[in-house]
Structures are given as C-alpha cells and as structure tokens.
Amino acid sequence: MAMKVEIISRATIKPASPTPDHLRNFKICLLDELAPPSYVPILLFYSSADFDTIYDCKAMSDKLKKSLSETLVRFYPLCGKLKGNLFVECNDEGALFVETKVNIAAEIAKNPETEMLYKLFPFDPYKVRPDGEKADGEAVITGVQLNVFECGSVGIGVCVSHKVADGATMASFLNAWSATASGSDEKLAPNLDSAVLFPPKGIDIIKQSDIIRNEKIVTRRFEFDGKNLANLKAKIVNGNPTRVEVVTALIWKSAMETARINSGKDMLPASIATHLVNIRERTNPPLPRHALGNLWRLSLAPYLDVKKQVELQELVSLLRKSIRRIDSDYVSKLQGVNGLAKAIEPLQELRQLASGGGVEVYTFSSWARFPLYEINFGWGKPARVCTITVPVRNCVILMGTKSGDGIEAWVTLTEKDMEKFERSQELLQFISTSA
C-alpha cells in the first residue's frame, strides 16, 4: 500500500513569553557561518504498544504544542527568522507545527524506506534556495510534524536550521522539550555564548550547490549490534578503538574496495575520510554540553597510497590521528585573530588533495553518543530514532540503537556503488541479521 500523509492542521507555535528587546538580535558564530544552508532532520517513532496510558490525538497534540511554546522561551533563537548569514532576528515568529494522519501502520519504522520518510517532515530539509530561504518560500528556523499512524503509533519529524544547530544542539533541544512535556522540574537551558567564543566574520561562502549534485544516489541502513561490534573491535590489535572508529574504518574500507571493483583496476583508489568532530569537550575549559551552535570541525584522514588492499588496523590508525588533531590547541587557534583561516583550513586542504581528480571523499558524522533514545514526552521512550537520506554521495551518518550498545549506519552512495557495497563479504560479517 502506498503511504499517504493527510495534513490535518498547520499552526505557528510562539514562545510562551516574549523575548526581551535586548535579546532580539542573536549573532550566529563563525562556525555557524560555515555550516551548510539546510536543516538538521530527526525522526522519532513512538509505538502505541509502549504508551504508558491511552492518548487521543488532540491530547497529545495539545501537550506537544504547550510544552514546545514553553521550551522556546529558553531556546528563543529557534523561533526567530534568519537574516542572511549574519544573525537571527528573535521576533518570536514561532515554530511551524503540522499535524497529519498516515494511512499505514508504523511498521515503516522497522525497515524504513528512506524516500517515504521525507513525507513525515514538515518540509524537505535539503531544498533550500541560494538566498537561504526554503524552496516553498518559508524561512522558519524550526519545523515539527506530528504524524499519527493508523495503528495509533506516532512519528515526530523535527527540522531545525543548520545555521543555528548541529546534531548535539538538536539532542539538547529535543530533550529539553520532552522534559517540559513530561513535567520534569529540570528546565534545561542552552548556553548561547558561541558568538563570543568564535566571533563571526560576516562571511557566506558555503552554498548548497557546493554540496548537493544531481546524481542517482541511494541510502541503505546497516545495523551493528553489541556482539558484532565487539568482534569487529577484536580485529584491531592495538589502540583499543572506539565503536565509531571501527565502524567508520569498515565502511571506508568496503567503499574503497567497491570503487576499485567498479573502476576495473587492481589498485585501491586514493580516498579521504572526513569526520565531523564535536569540539564541546575539546576546548579548555570544556564547553557546556548544551552549548547551542555548530560546534564541530572537520577532521581529514587521507589514504593516498596505491595498494591492492588495506588493513582495518591502518585505517583506524589514520582516523584516530586525524580526529586527535582537533584538540584544545586547535580550538584556541579557532578563537584567535586568525580564526577564519584556521576554520577553512580543512576545506582548502580537501580541495587541494582532491584537485587532481580520482580521489573519493567519504564524509562521516556520528550521532551515536547523543541521548536521542531518552526523549520521552510523557508516553514512553522512542521505539526508533532515525534521520533521512542526505542527498550527497559518500555520506554516512552513524546513530545509536535503542539497546545502547549498537550502531546504525545510514550510508548514501551512488546506485552503482551501493549495488556492490551492500554485498561486501567483510561488511556482511558484522551486520546484524535483524537490520
């Protein structure tokens, strides 16, 4: 059966109390200026079988709207209007809130078809015009869609502008919202000092056309459970690698071997693995976990040797070295007078390394440590948390699993590469059969 999403209502949720005049202009920081002009999408599925009590749609909607309104008082930059690539006009314009009915059961959450998941969001998070406005003319910073499935389960699709939020900010916002909805006494508030720590430079150099190309791509989900991750880590003799490091290395290696097969050559192609590194814990002193903004930088791990094969151990070592370069000394240079030069350094290095052609770039981002499975609005924790297809080739998002000890990899490749990649024998050794 084809999935149909019927819009029941559209509303604008304003903060419960107005933003004071002296907070009306919220400057985005240097790292926000360099963020892509799109949205960060997260989808939360809640099974009706897990509900603590029976909820009707109106009661659920009312609770979400009221708690969102209260939460936006503290997260006021999320309900304003982005002005160019400079600042947020905190005019209490509000967040978009859409309610829908979906004509199928929430079984889609168990083995989601990523193209279908786009319909569960208030808008396409990646269709953004060069001027920073969404393709349909709306320029809201935050959008929410409450989807009620015919089985009574719900899916909450949330998009927040990448110009003010990264994955960690999204996790903080959603946990703060759910805590308010469930009546918690803890009123989590974000730290809003990013522009003080990383002063903006008034630049706008990252365009959507630099990131998204018109090519046939496909996304597949691969799950690694705790047991398989332990077996994978055991293959690495030295260094006690993290879950993220070994999964990244395995996917990178499998992708390189896929590219070699499709090229018809004997040697592995030159490639670069990049990782988005959260710098909140890498500053001196560390930044608050709930600091708002794009507080991440790009690590580069080039593999430029011409060989027939590569060992996982070697790739793990390359990844670890590249990630560890982003330390407190690196962050202090970002905060210095030459902060802009330091911030764009990895982009320049990436262009230089790939300028000769024939070098594949694989981009990894890990959300595995974010407490997304703790988001409880009062009717239980999510049965599944996921994202949607990023329309960019060679892009991988790593997410945690409900059990807490696994990793779910959302891998986007060209159709040609995915056909070979998902048959990689080494990869299949460690994939959970339930994935």
pTM: 0.93
* Residue 164 near residue 141 (C-beta atoms within 8 A): yes
Q: What pLDDT band is residue 212 in, cutting at 50, 70 and 90?
A: low
| Nearest by Cα to 412 from 261, 242, 211, 235 | 211
Angle, helices 243-263 vs 312-324, to 10°: value is 120
Please confirm whether the linkage preceding 285 is cis (ω < 30° from 0).
Answer: yes
Cβ atoms 322, 345 nearer than 8 A: no
How confident is the model at residue 395, as a pLDDT? 95
For the chain, the C-alpha Rg in angstroms (whole number) is 21
Q: pLDDT confidence of 77, banded at 50, 70, 90?
A: very high
Q: Taking phi first (over 0 means left), then psi (-120 to 50 degrees means alpha), and beta for anything else, what does residue 146 get?
A: beta
> Sorting pLDDT into bands at 50, 70 and 90, what band is 211?
low
Model confidence at 23: pLDDT above 90: yes
Q: What is the pLDDT of residue 131?
A: 41
209-369+389-428 matches 7-197 in CATH topology: yes
Q: Is the Cβ–Cβ distance between 383 and 375 less than 8 Å?
A: no
Proportion of the chain in helix, strand, coil states, percent, rounded to 5: 35, 25, 45
Say if residues 400 and 370 touch (Cβ distance below 8 Å): yes
Q: For the segment 150-194, what is each residue's pLDDT rounded down to a tens digit? A: 888 999 999 999 999 999 999 999 999 999 999 988 888 999 999
Q: Which residues contact 323 (CB under 8 A, 6 or more apart)?
A: 275, 277, 299
Which string of b and e fits 36-55 if b means at least 16 CB within 10 Å? Answer: bbbbbbbbbbbbbeebeeeb
Q: Phi-psi region for residue 219, left (φ > 0), alpha (ψ -120 to 50) or beta?
A: beta
* Residue 58: pLDDT band with limits 50, 70, 90: confident
Contact 346, 34 (CB under 8 A): no
The domain spans of the chain are: 7-197, 209-369+389-428
Residue 210 predicted with pLDDT over 70: no
Q: What pLDDT score was predicted for residue 105?
A: 78
CA atoms within 13 A on the CB side of 432: 18
Q: How far apart are CA 154 and CA 173, in angstroms?
A: 19
Place of tokens 């659920």: 60
Q: Are 81 and 163 contacting, i.e. CB atoms less than 8 angstroms apart?
A: no
Predicted local confidence at residue 1, as pLDDT: 67
Tens of pLDDT, residue by residue over 259-314, are 999 988 888 989 999 999 999 999 999 999 999 999 999 999 999 887 788 999 99
Q: Once rounded to an integer, what is the mean pLDDT over residues 219-225?
A: 94
Instruction: Indicate the CATH number for domain 7-197.
Output: 3.30.559.10
CATH topology of domain 209-369+389-428: Chloramphenicol Acetyltransferase (3.30.559)
Residue 435 pLDDT > 50: no
Is the confidence at residue 136, as pLDDT, over 60? no
Q: What is the mean pLDDT of the chain?
A: 90
Question: Residue 213: what pLDDT?
Answer: 62
Average pLDDT over residues 243-265: 95
Helices (H) and strands (E) in the chain, counts: 13, 15
What is the spatial distance between Cα 293 and Cα 303, in angstroms, rounded to a whole number?
31
The model's confidence at residue 214, banded by pLDDT at 50, 70 and 90, is low
Nearest partner of 117 among 131, 132, 106, judged by Cα = 106
Asked whether 154 and 148 are in contact (CB, 8 A), the reply is yes
State both tokens at 276: 């988005």
Q: Torsions phi, psi of 171, nearest 5?
A: -60, -40
